[in-house]
Amino acid sequence: MAELLNDAEVTAALAGLPEWRREGDAIVRTVKLPTFPDAIALVDRVAQAAEARNHHPDIDIRWRTLTFVCSTHAMGGITELDVHLAQEIDRLAAT
């Protein structure tokens, strides 16, 4: 299992993830899509990617606005798995 990142490591990771912010034991990004179906389509793409890597974000869906919350539940905090998932979500959100 991936090790917890310390504060400096989280800060360094977020420097490469400008759309993301730290909220306690998680990193968080909000994405606004043009339509509700567009938002659900992105959720589906993220779900496929999360399943493939067996690491899943918490997802809040409010009309066209999605909030992704990445934390490693088994470790109770932020690990490289969350950073890599955030990078993947950014790629999928850009398509």
Residues near ligand H2B (CB under 6 A) are 54-56, 71-74
Cα–Cα distance between 34 and 16 in angstroms, integer?
A: 25
| Three-state secondary structure call for residue 21 | strand
CB of 93 vs ligand H2B, minimal distance in Å: 18
Select 32 or 73, whichever has its Cβ closest to ligand H2B.
73
Of 37 and 76, the one with the shorter C-beta distance to ligand H2B is: 76
Nearer to ligand H2B, 54 or 95 (CB): 54
Both structure tokens of 62: 């409010």
> Which region, left, alpha or beta, applies to residue 62 given φ > 0 means left and ψ of -120 to 50 means alpha?
beta
